[in-house]
Amino acid sequence: MMQVTEIFESIQGETTQAGRPCAFVRFTGCDLRCSWCDTAYSFAGGTKMSREQILEKLKGFGTRFVTLTGGEPMLQKELPQLCRDLLAAGFEVAIETHGQVPTDSLPEEVARIFDAKPPGSGEVDEKFVNLRGLRPRDEVKFVCTSREDFDWSVKVIRRFELEGRCPVLMSAVGPQLVPETLVRWMLEAGLRARLNLQLHKVIWGAEARGV
């Protein structure tokens, strides 16, 4: 069984797939406590569901693009098998993960979105267990609250030669950092990255759930 906070259909609000119709499975539980987390409601609670129940729920939606998120979905023991079930049923699968848990158990076809943790998160990543094995379909997101976070992100991006290997996404946490400032820093650094805005918050507001 898997612990699920919510399953819903919306658009993908982030990544290179932003604006695309997408079904989401948000799993319960996370082993980090980032300072700017906007899904703390998924830390506990939820409903136990079998892989079969999750698959049937997703089949009821119009889209066949699925994002597995959380919380931290990699904490779910049955996640690799669920991914295989979804792929076998004809779904395109992406996973959003904080990247501090190895993802080698996932099928090759799954697109992995790694949320690298700069110092401002309070959960700074120091091991980078997934960045050496990135594939072109993967993406890495850096969420920044300050110039310190941005400079840390640039060092990691250049250390692992992420530019050109896979999409690099840069996000700003308001009100500490506004997108205008982040864009200026990106241009000054000559960073080959993409500004990552949260379209779902633009459309439905920051507090809306199930969107």
Helix (H) or strand (E) holding 153: helix 147-159
Of 76, 106, 102, 105, give the one whose Cα is nearest residue 94: 106
- pLDDT at position 206 is 78
**Per-residue pLDDT for 124 more than 90?**
yes
Cα–Cα distance measured from residue 195 to residue 141, given in angstroms and rounded to the nearest whole number: 10
The mean of the pLDDT values for the chain is: 95
- At 74 the three-state DSSP class reads helix
Give the span between the Cα atoms of 36 and 203, in whole angstroms. 20
State residue 127's pLDDT score.
Answer: 92
Please, which pLDDT band fits residue 149 given cuts at 50, 70 and 90?
Answer: very high
> What are the phi and psi torsion angles at 110 (to 5°)?
-75, 130
pLDDT digits (tens, 9 = 90+) for 151-210: 999 999 999 999 999 999 999 998 999 999 999 999 999 999 999 998 888 888 877 788
**Residue 173: predicted pLDDT:** 94
Angle at which helix 79-88 crosses helix 51-59, to 10 degrees, equals 40
pLDDT digits (tens, 9 = 90+) for 63-79: 999 999 999 999 999 99
Q: List the Cα angle 99/67/2 in 5-degree steps.
A: 80
The pLDDT of residue 201 is 82
